[in-house]
Amino acid sequence: MASILELPPTTIRRLGSSQALTDASSVVKELVENALDARASNISVEISVNTLDVVHVRDNGHGIIPEDRVLACKRFCTSKIKEFLELDTIGGSSLGFRGEALASLADMSASLTITTRVEGEAVAVNLNIDQDGSIKR
């Protein structure tokens, strides 16, 4: 009989990620909600036939400012709230605020790229994200 052992942190993270995003439709839902929270008025979605190879959501939202990019895919990082008490006042102004969706997506993906541009930037920036939510390059 096997002994009870503590799971490694990477396994714990991945188990939690699969609870946040369970299938391609939950990925699309989260990305569309992020686009709407970014005040997008135009959103397009592209999904590969097998729903695994490509899930591409493009929008015209306000983008991610340069100083926030390093935390965009880190677990429990969000621009929506700063403390728990704000949950009383956030109702109706945001579709998500836990800082889980992009972190979970990064953890589950073999390849995650976020392309973003804010007003004033001449060109967009590609953020290639590691499974731990860090920017590779």
In a domain, 4, yes or no: no
Range of the domain at 64: 9-129
Q: Rounded to an integer, what distance in angstroms lies between the CA atom of residue 97 and that of residue 76?
A: 9
In a domain, 35, yes or no: yes
In a domain, 137, yes or no: no
Cα within 13 Å of Cα(49), Cβ side: 0
Q: Residue 15's domain is classified under what CATH number?
A: 3.30.565.10
Q: What is the reported pTM? A: 0.75
Q: What is the pLDDT of residues 68-79, one digit of tens each?
A: 999 899 887 777
In a domain, 77, yes or no: yes
Q: Looking at residue 116, what is its pLDDT?
A: 95
Contacts of 53 (CB under 8 A, 6+ apart): none
Number of domains in the chain: 1
In a domain, 114, yes or no: yes
Q: What is the pLDDT of residues 95-134, one digit of tens each?
A: 665 567 888 888 888 789 999 999 999 999 999 999 989 9
Handedness of CA 129, 112, 79, 44 (dihedral sign): positive
The amino acid that residue 59 corresponds to is D
Q: What is the mean pLDDT of residues 59-88?
A: 81
Q: What is the mean pLDDT of residues 13-42?
A: 81
In a domain, 136, yes or no: no
Q: Rounded to an integer, what distance in angstroms lies between the CA atom of residue 17 and that of residue 11?
A: 10
Which residue pairs from 87-96 have beta carbons closer than 8 angstroms and sit at least 24 positions apart in sequence? 94/37, 95/33, 95/34, 95/36, 95/37, 96/30, 96/33, 96/34, 96/37
Q: Is 66 helix (H, G, I), strand (E, B) or coil?
A: helix
Mean residue pLDDT of the chain comes to 82
